[in-house]
Amino acid sequence: MVVGWFSYMPGVFDNSIVTQIQQANDIVDIISEHVALKRKGREMVGLCPFHDDHRPSMNVSPAKQIFKCFACGAGGDVFKFIQMRENLTFPQAIERLANRAGIRLPTPNRKSQTNRQSETDNLQSVDTNELARVNAWAAKYFQKNLNDKEKGKFARDYLAQRKVTSESIKKWQLGLAACPQGNDSPDDLFRAARARKIPAKLLEYAGLITNQNQDLSAVRVADKFVNRLMFTITDVTGRVIGFGGRTLSEQGAKYINSPTTALFDKSNSLYGLEHARHQIVSTDTAVVVEGYTDCIMAHQFGCSNVVAAMGTSFTAGQGRLLRRYAKKVILLFDSDAAGIEAANRALEVCLSQRIDIKLAFVPQGKDPCDFLLANGKEKFQYLLDNAVDVLQFKWNRLTEKFSSDDTLAGRKAAIDEYLQAIATGLYAGSLNTIEGGLLINRLSGIIGLDNRQVTAELRKKVTTAARAAAYDVQKPPVDLSAVRMADLGEGLSATAQREILEVLLNEPKLFKTVKKKVSPAVSLSNLIEHFDVLVLRDIASVLFETLTSNPAPELTEILAKTESPQVSSCITQLQADGEQKGNFETRLRDAVDVLLSCHARRAIDLSRAQSRGQLKSKQDANKYLKSVTESARKENRRNIGMT
């Protein structure tokens, strides 16, 4: 839990509470909230969320409680997955998973709490856990307003008119941003938050208030949402990340959403995914509608694989998000001109994301909510079952344009649009060359051009698609330096260091062999100093300390003691490499001998250099050792001596 409105500072958790939280959060359950996993033997596989993965390259081990991507190198335990996926620090990830498991964290000391409060005055220190918590409070406050006998009557009447049931109101956490009464200023939420001692800056960072004065005085502060029916937006794990608000008057835009925050980005979010995820995975199909009430009503009628794009055009970020769960996407739009154009724009996004896409349209000018109320679930499902293939939709648009517009410019625009769809599909791999050839033949027949001319024009469009893809660079969910493997060193000494760690991560009981090989003159702490590759030294320090107190630790116990995702990824890589090689005892014995020998050689070389008067300072000694190490690396490029 969070104390006050601020998160814990690092270093306040002992190993027992960390282990308890780790064991309470099964890694398969956690990762399944973000990626669709399929069983493959004893492990689970899925698309890696840390790079642009099109073939499942991430393995999740239920037995070891670890994950590992064999494409980008990301790996670790449940804490590291949450750290990287949600861009959290290690203490924030602990707090996040403690909240999820309902585990109460010990109260930090007041000094840490005060330091944290001063840090929160800086935008860069805002913690997404804090934003999620203040959003959850706001959601409850909006729900309280809606349930108020007098204050919420108009909004409740509106929901009743729209046939939204009380069960749906509760499930979707619908609420009310109150209307100011009389001469009241529009700061109902702000005043309630101030009474709870919630910092104004935190409300501003969450997008709940607008700052009209730098000192955030009550006179100039206004609520972001006023006199609006509130839709609570959650992520796939159920965290409240933002809000949508529908006006209950004629003032302002019909719908507004939370601004982009550290927690919420509309272009990378889908309304209802928390409730739709399981059905999407089980059916391999997601249905995308435009509005909040469309999504709510679909679920109310039992169509529970429906999500909403929240009124925005379907974006590449939303496409990437859905691709983790669904193999097929059906876009359901209104059948008016605006709906058809919105569908047309969405197709390019889905083609570029290698999503099997189909289109369905609600007839008679209705939106999905009204259609369900008028016609029921069966006819709604019939619409979805008869959805049109993306290229068939494009072909229909082309032929309609040719029949209704005989101008050269109009027909050329229709041809360009169709060719661009084919080019996008070919470049992204959504279409193969045979399918592309058949479509070219079909187009040649209607426009009367030779196949070679059409193919030449298509090549130009493929180049354009490639250029567009280069500009559409996804903002990484985490700093990629945390995913890239660290430098594990070169040469015989570095290889020996890796070998020791590879063996002990797989057979920790062999640590006694290391202790036997180390003479009384060389303590284990001194042996760690022999590890001159920085990341390997960090791993050795954690591993040796753990093995000293627990001769048979689980891999997750070691991972839980490392805060760095990069170090965690290295540990999982070393464990996997060691498991594949086997032959543990011989490799460990030889590796320790080599490491001690390499260190002894460096010590002798250093002593000789000192006796010759070559080294006059500690700085000279460091430079000399560095040159010796570099020379050893060059002499041992093939790492001769160990298998």
Query: What would the pLDDT profile of 58-106 be if each residue is shown by its tens digit?
Result: 999 999 999 999 999 999 999 999 999 988 889 889 999 998 888 888 7
Beta strand pairing status for 240-247 and 255-257? antiparallel
Q: What pLDDT shows up at residue 390?
A: 78
By mean pLDDT, which of 15-29, 407-421, 429-443, 563-577 is the weakest? Answer: 429-443
3-state SS class at 197:
coil
Residue 267 CA to residue 319 CA, distance in Å, equals 10
Lowest mean pLDDT, pick from 12-26, 87-101, 167-181, 337-351:
337-351
How do beta strands 356-362 and 43-46 pair?
A: unpaired
Q: Is 257 helix (H, G, I), strand (E, B) or coil?
A: strand
CATH topology of domain 128-264: DNA primase DNAg catalytic core, N-terminal domain (3.90.980)
Q: Residue 457: enclosing H or E segment and its boundaries?
A: helix 451-471
- What pLDDT is attached to residue 467? 60
Ordered by start, the domain boundaries in the chain are 15-107, 128-264, 268-380, 395-471, 485-635
Centroid of chain to Cα 499: 33
Contact criterion met (CB below 8 Å) for 624 and 606? yes
What's the pLDDT at 306? 98
- What is the per-residue pLDDT across 253-264, written as a single tens digit (0 to 9) for each? 899 999 999 899
pLDDT of res. 240: 97
Place of tokens 């889905």: 350
| Coil/strand/helix, residue 408 | helix
Quick check: 236 and 34 in contact, CB under 8 A? yes
Task: Give CA separation, 238 vs 126, 133, 177, 401, in Å.
Answer: 20, 12, 21, 45
Question: Mean per-residue pLDDT for 569-575?
Answer: 93
Which one-letter amino acid corresponds to residue 252? G
pLDDT category, 165, cuts 50, 70, 90? Answer: very high
Distance of CA 290 to the CA centre of its chain: 23
CA dist., res. 381 & res. 272, Å (int) = 19
Taking residues 381-393, report their average pLDDT. 88
Confidence of residue 227 (pLDDT cuts 50, 70, 90): very high
Task: Report whether 94 contacts 23 (CB < 8 A).
Answer: no
**pLDDT, averaged across the chain:** 81
Instruction: Specify which of 51-65, 114-128, 604-618 reaches the highest per-range mean pLDDT.
Output: 51-65
Tell me the pLDDT band of 466, cut-offs 50, 70 and 90.
Answer: low
Q: Which fold has domain 268-380?
A: Dna Topoisomerase Vi A Subunit; Chain: A, domain 2 (3.40.1360)
Residue 530: predicted pLDDT:
84
**Distances in whole angstroms, Cα of residue 131 to Cα of each of 127, 201, 591:** 7, 11, 49
User: What value, to the nearest 5°, has the Cα angle with vertex 589 and ends 588 and 593?
Assistant: 115
Distance CA 57, CA 48 (A): 6
Instruction: Give residue 116's pLDDT band: very low, low, confident or very high (50, 70, 90).
Output: very low
CATH of domain 485-635: 1.10.860
**Helix then strand then coil, % of the chain, to nearest 5:** 55, 10, 35
Tokens of 365: 């000018």
CATH code of domain 15-107: 3.90.580.10
Tens of pLDDT, residues 484-519: 556 787 888 899 999 999 999 999 999 988 888 776
Quote the tokens at residue 611: 């006796």
- Measured CA to CA in angstroms, residue 344 lies from 399, 415, 550 at distances of 15, 14, 61
Query: How are beta strands 328-334 and 285-289 bridged, if at all?
Result: parallel
Instruction: Tell me what pLDDT residue 375 has.
Output: 94
Threshold 0.85, pTM exceeds = no
Element containing residue 529 per DSSP (H, E):
helix 524-529
The stretch 447-457 carries a mean pLDDT of 73
Sequence-ordered strand ranges (E) for 70-194 = 75-76, 175-177
Residue 114 is inside which H or E element, if any? helix 110-119
Residue 9 binned pLDDT confidence (cut-offs 50, 70, 90): very low
Query: What's the whole-number mean pLDDT along residues 571-578?
Result: 93
Own/partner long-range contacts of 403-407 (Cβ < 8 Å, ≥24 apart)? none
pLDDT of 357 higher than 70: yes
For the CA atoms of 478, 71, 36, 75, the dihedral, rounded to the nearest 10 degrees, stands at -60
Q: If you search the block for the tokens 């001194």, which residue do you land on?
A: 526
Look at 29-43, 75-89, 154-168, 444-458 and tell me which has the smallest mean pLDDT. 444-458
Q: Quickly state the pLDDT bin for 221 (edges 50, 70, 90).
A: confident
Residue 385 has pLDDT above 90, yes or no: yes
Q: What is the DSSP pairing of strand 388-389 with strand 306-308?
A: unpaired
Question: Residue 275 corresponds to which tokens in the numbers above?
Answer: 């409730």
Kindly list the distances between the CA atom of residue 382 and the CA atoms of 276, 305, 329, in Å, as whole numbers in the listed order. Answer: 19, 15, 16
| Burial of residue 82 (number of CB atoms within 10 Å: 0-12, 13-18, 19+) | buried
**Whether the Cβ atoms of residue 568 and residue 562 lie closer than 8 Å to each other:** yes
pLDDT digits (tens, 9 = 90+) for 269-324: 999 999 999 999 999 999 999 999 999 999 999 999 999 999 767 888 898 889 88
Model confidence pLDDT, tens digit, residues 415-424:
887 777 777 7
Say how far apart CA 75 and CA 200 lie, in whole Å: 38
Measured over the CA atoms of residue 400, residue 401, residue 404 and residue 406, the dihedral's sign is negative
Burial of residue 469 (number of CB atoms within 10 Å: 0-12, 13-18, 19+): middle
What is the pLDDT, as a whole number, of residue 140?
Answer: 97
Q: At what angle do helices 90-101 and 78-86 cross, to 10 degrees?
A: 110
Contacts of 246-254 with C-beta under 8 Å, sequence gap 24+, read 246/292, 248/154, 248/155, 248/158, 248/179, 249/179, 251/227
Highest mean pLDDT among 109-118, 168-177, 423-432, 455-464: 168-177
Give the CB-side neighbour count of residue 546, counting CA atoms within 13 A: 23
Which residue would you say has higher pLDDT here, 598 or 219?
A: 598
> Which of these ranges, 203-207, 248-252, 344-348, 382-386, has the smallest mean pLDDT?
344-348
Percent of residues, the chain, with pLDDT higher than 70? 79
| Closest C-alpha among 186, 189, 182, 178 to residue 154 | 178
Looking at 90-179, which runs of residues are DSSP E strands? 175-177
pLDDT of residue 499: 94
Residue found by looking up tokens 């069960």 in the block: 167
440 vs 426: CA distance, rounded Å: 12
Least Cα distance to 327 among 349, 309, 350, 307 occurs for: 350
pLDDT of residue 294: 96
Q: Per-residue pLDDT tens for 521-532?
A: 556 677 788 888
Confidence of residue 620 (pLDDT cuts 50, 70, 90): very low
Whole-number Å distance between alpha carbons of 188 and 145: 10
The residue whose two tokens read 């993965």 is 53
In whole angstroms, what separates CA 283 from the centre of its chain?
22
26 has a pLDDT exceeding 60: yes
The listed range with the strongest mean pLDDT (9-18, 38-47, 443-452, 517-526) is 38-47
pLDDT at 628: 46
**Over pLDDT 90: what percentage of the chain?**
45
